[in-house]
A = this chain, B = another copy of it.
Amino acid sequence: MSLAVQKYGGSSVANAERILHVARRVAARRAEGTDLVVVVSAMGDTTDELIGLAQQVTTRPDDREMDLLLSTGEIISCTLLAMALRELGVPASSFTGAQAGIQTDQTHGRARILNVEPDRVRAALADGRVAIVAGFQGITAETDVTTLGRGGSDTTAVALAAALLADQCEIYTDVQGVYTCDPRLEPRARKLTTISYEEMLEMASQGARVMHPRAVELGALYGIPILVASSMVEAPGTLIQGSSEMEPSNKVRGISHDADIAKITVVGVPDKPGAVATLFTALGSANLTADTIVQNANVTGSATDVTFTVPDADLQKALAAIAPAVGRLGCAVVTDASLGKVSIVGTGVLNTPGYAPRMFQVLADTGINIELITTSEIRITCIVTRNRLADAVRALHAAFELESA
């Protein structure tokens, strides 16, 4: 018997009616002869409502308390789905993250899974039941409840699929799959049939919000095929797997973008060992990570400029974190909070001559200035002004002929 781990996001279980819809889907799939583990997010706006409650009693919620509070959202949805399945005559049991053996470190708010010991989930499957697991949460060795941060339920699903040696992990969401670019920006965007882990990772890291990069990473690490599809529409989704069916004549697979970028430039960093490290150590201590980092070549003398980007929402927190180091180093700070980034993603993009200059030329022809450039093996990213970001996506989608397979 094959085993699949399914994950349903918050909008798929937003109310009783949708939970019943998911239950019918799960029941139908199980009737076809597949053992199922189902990971669920919190219902609709539950998480925001819980955060709102916390904000009514405190200005600075403690991370540990917040995690325990938020964990209730997924427990509620998973018990309701289990009840809905039983109502349909399908044996089902719900499990908290702790009960499902999701063991994490103690980094509240963005905990890392250290180990998965799904003994109770295995027992439920062996007993012929569907196991419903609360996503987004785990437990530390000290039995503190943690949450896994953004995209946490995806990570729960893939981690369980790996631990249970599942045949496939299926992420059901409010989009129908992975597109060549955001269909809301460009109606001609095309749904991809398959994509490689690496390409998906770059798409995800660079702003395509279909799946969280950590979940894709985990899938790649354990070789779990991940299907991304709609929970509402019966349509084939996108399969993320080891190797994509490459179009030989076009190495760009998709355009991703992220409108939530702020840039911090630290001016006059002393050109001596350790100076840059102190900046990023300070950032790391505040649990922030810089996205793009660029250090200009030091051609003028004893000081250099370091530029990095963070999500807009983290800008003030980042500035506060580096302030002591900046003061000690005697540097100045310049920020720009109105940026976005656009990337072309595809295996071999960087190593195939022509793609980088073509991208830059397309942006130039569209009258868009490039603020920063970064690259990986399979991605070229340009930071541009936010109010031209959509134009950049559309221009690149057309130029690289992504609307036709």
Contacts and interface: CB of A to CB of B under 8 A. Distances in A.
A79 B59 contact: no
Contact of A62 (B53, B82, B96): B82
A252 to B, nearest CB: 45
Given A16-B56, A20-B57, A79 B68 contact: yes
A282 B83 CA distance: 26
A65 interface: yes
Interface in A244-268: none
Copies in the complex: 2
A203 interface: no
Contacts of A83: 54, 57-58, 61-62, 65-66, 69
A69 B76 contact: yes
Contact of A57 (B16, B61, B66): B16
A75 B74 CA distance: 13
A144 B75 CA distance: 13
A57 B84 contact: yes
Nearest to A64: B93
Nearest to A57: B84
Given A64-B93, A99-B143, A87 B72 contact: no
Nearest to A20: B57
B76 A53 contact: yes
A293 to B, nearest CB: 35
Contacts of A59: 87
A65 B94 CA distance: 7
B69 A53 contact: no
Interface in A60-109: 60-62, 64-66, 68-69, 71-72, 75-76, 79-84, 86-87, 93-94, 96, 98-99
A379 to B, nearest CB: 40
A57 B87 contact: yes
Interface residues of A, number: 40
Which of A50, A72, A96 gathers most chain B CB within 10 Å?
A72
A69 B61 contact: no
Nearest to A99: B143
Given A53-B16, A53-B76, A120-B143, A87 B68 contact: no
Contacts of A94: 65, 68
A58 B84 contact: yes
Contacts of A56: 16
A23 interface: yes
Nearest to A19: B57
A223 to B, nearest CB: 31
A357 B221 CA distance: 83
A56 B54 CA distance: 27
B65 A72 contact: no
Nearest to A80: B57
Given A23-B57, A87-B57, A68 B96 contact: yes
A291 B98 CA distance: 39
A17 to B, nearest CB: 8
Interface in A11-37: 16, 19-20, 23
Nearest to A91: B62
Contacts of A66: 79, 83
Given A20-B57, A84-B57, A87-B58, A69 B79 contact: yes
A43 to B, nearest CB: 9
A120 B50 CA distance: 25
Given A64-B93, A120-B143, A69 B80 contact: yes
Contacts of A69: 75-76, 79-80, 83
9 contacts: A53-B76, A54-B80, A57-B80, A64-B93, A65-B83, A69-B76, A69-B79, A69-B80, A96-B145
Given A68-B94, A72-B76, 6 more contacts: A58-B87, A60-B87, A62-B86, A66-B83, A69-B79, A99-B144
